């Protein structure tokens, strides 16, 4: 056991915690949009830390053994992370817009400005005096 | 020229994916094969990439993304603690708000939308460049913020970042 | 041995994937199931990366890259189909 082991354990613990939290958030929240919040953010964050753990492990093994296999492992997991970070929020937008256009309104919503845009009233100017500081 | 942008980025991706084939570097076969495939990719996508992509050839542009990455990472840490709090307590006040923004091109809208999705409590549903507004699902609207005047309460500093990075 | 903690992390991540699959099975509406699918894709990418480190096989991580990109295209096509056709 040395310092790098504790670093890897910490990263793995954060990763597992947030992936688990993302899957529990799917059952805790009432409708599609709030579920998307929990799922997208938590699982993206958990995967970032899984990649960090693998990179720390691989660089340590590279330092010890000098095997280029571990350099490939860390660089390839970094490329996977970049692909995931670019695609995940865009997929969330696509699902949210599709859910709204299919007709599922947000439950328990206090304000829904998007409804007037869909109905054709493009001008949804905020009224003066409505907003209290 | 769009050919060079696609060519350079395809070749850099090839170099990253094939590092470590000879010692810790590259052997000659991989370099030559990567050159051939990068030329094919650059030629095939020359009509798709577009003339405006030239600005991503400037290395100074990419240095600006490094502090942005740290800002986004700090925002993601806050976002996940926020989501954890809401999962445990179940205390939400959701709604869809219209956020007026002042941006010019598609790259700026993409950067701002993705930043908003990854930072606390907000999720972009639609971007409307024709009326210069974003529609954002907000999981916990503070009292009196149902129709925000600018993007400050929703996204914090990210509108300035998006304007600078996508220029 | 250093690769043991990666197995435990992969096991717990797989349990998270099973909980997500439960939402895909019981989800009352179609967008709920698509949200479950999207979450499951991300968890599977994390699982592939962890197993690649656990078994010392870089090829698993290569598959994770391809899976991340292709699953995104699948999600986009389902979303586009839901909002009114593929045309």
CA distance to partner chain C, nearest, from residue A131 (Å): 33
Q: Which stretches of chain B drop beneath a pLDDT of 70?
A: 1, 51, 145-146, 151
- B142 CB within 8 Å of a chain A CB: no
Q: What is the pLDDT of residue A127?
A: 43
C49 with A84: Cβ contact below 8 A: no
Assess if residue C35 is contained within a domain.
yes
Residue C30 lies in a domain: yes
Domain ranges of chain B: 2-57, 63-165
**DSSP class of A127:** P
* Tens digit of each residue's pLDDT (9 = 90 or more) over B35-61: 999 999 988 888 877 767 777 777 777
The shortest C-alpha distance from A59 to chain C (Å) reads: 12
Structural domain total, chain C: 1
Burial state string for C34-58 with b = 16 or more CB within 10 A and e = fewer than 16: bbbbbbbbbbbbbbbbbbbbbebeb
| C87 found inside a domain | no
C42 located within any domain:
yes
Q: How many CB pairs under 8 A join A and B?
A: 149
Range(s) of the domain holding residue C24: 4-82
Mean pLDDT score across all residues of chain B: 81
pLDDT category, C87, cuts 50, 70, 90? low
Which residues in chain C touch residue A98, judged by CB atoms under 8 angstroms apart? 31, 34, 78-80, 82-83
Adjacency order of strands within the sheet including B122-128? B95-100, B133-138, B122-128
Whether B157 and chain A come into contact, CB under 8 Å, resolves to no
pLDDT tens, A68-117?
888 888 899 999 999 998 888 888 888 888 888 887 777 776 777 777 76
B90 touches chain A (CB under 8 A): yes
Q: What is the pLDDT of residue A133?
A: 41
Across A9-13, A128-132, C27-31, least confident range: A128-132
* ipTM, two decimals: 0.86
In tens, the pLDDT along A36-54 reads 888 888 888 899 999 999 9
Give me B80's structure tokens. Answer: 């996940």
Higher-confidence position of B46 and A13: A13
Task: Tell me how many residue pairs between chain A and chain C have CB atoms under 8 A apart.
Answer: 170
């Amino acid at each position: 056991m040395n310092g790098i082991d504790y670093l890897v354990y910490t990263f793995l613990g954060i990763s597992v915690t947030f992936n688990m939290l993302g899957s529990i958030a799917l059952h805790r929240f009432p409708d599609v949009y709030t579920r998307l919040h929990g799922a997208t953010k938590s699982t993206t964050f958990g995967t970032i830390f899984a990649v960090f753990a693998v990179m720390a492990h691989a660089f340590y093994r590279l330092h010890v053994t000098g095997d280029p296999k571990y350099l490939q492992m860390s660089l390839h997991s970094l490329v996977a992370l970049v692909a995931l970070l670019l695609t995940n929020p865009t997929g969330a937008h696509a699902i949210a817009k599709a859910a709204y256009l299919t007709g599922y309104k947000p439950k328990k919503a206090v304000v829904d400005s998007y409804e007037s845009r869909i109905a054709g009233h493009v001008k949804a100017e905020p009224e003066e005096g409505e907003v209290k500081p | 020229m769009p050919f060079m942008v696609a060519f350079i980025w395809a070749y850099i991706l090839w170099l990253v994916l094939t590092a470590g084939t000879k010692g810790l570097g590259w052997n000659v076969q991989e370099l030559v094969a990567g050159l051939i495939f990068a030329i094919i990719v650059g030629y095939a996508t020359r009509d798709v990439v577009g003339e405006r992509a030239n600005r991503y050839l400037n290395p100074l542009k990419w240095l600006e993304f490094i502090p942005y990455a740290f800002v986004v990472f700090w925002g993601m840490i806050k976002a996940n603690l926020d989501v954890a709090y809401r999962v445990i307590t179940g205390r939400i006040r959701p709604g869809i708000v219209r956020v007026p923004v002042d941006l010019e091109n598609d790259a700026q809208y993409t950067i701002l939308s993705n930043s908003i999705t990854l930072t606390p409590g907000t999720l972009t549903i639609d971007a409307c460049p024709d009326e210069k507004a974003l529609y954002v699902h907000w999981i916990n609207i503070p009292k009196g913020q149902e129709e925000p005047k600018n993007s400050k309460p929703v996204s914090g500093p990210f509108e300035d970042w998006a304007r600078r990075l996508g220029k | 041995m250093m690769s043991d903690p990666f197995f435990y992390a992969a096991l717990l991540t797989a349990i998270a994937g099973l909980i997500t699959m439960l939402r895909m099975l019981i989800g009352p509406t179609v967008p709920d199931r698509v949200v479950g699918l999207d979450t499951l894709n991300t968890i599977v990418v994390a699982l592939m990366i962890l197993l690649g480190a656990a078994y010392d096989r870089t090829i698993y991580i290569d598959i994770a890259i391809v899976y991340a990109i292709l699953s995104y295209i699948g999600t986009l096509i389902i979303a586009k189909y839901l909002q009114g056709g593929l045309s």
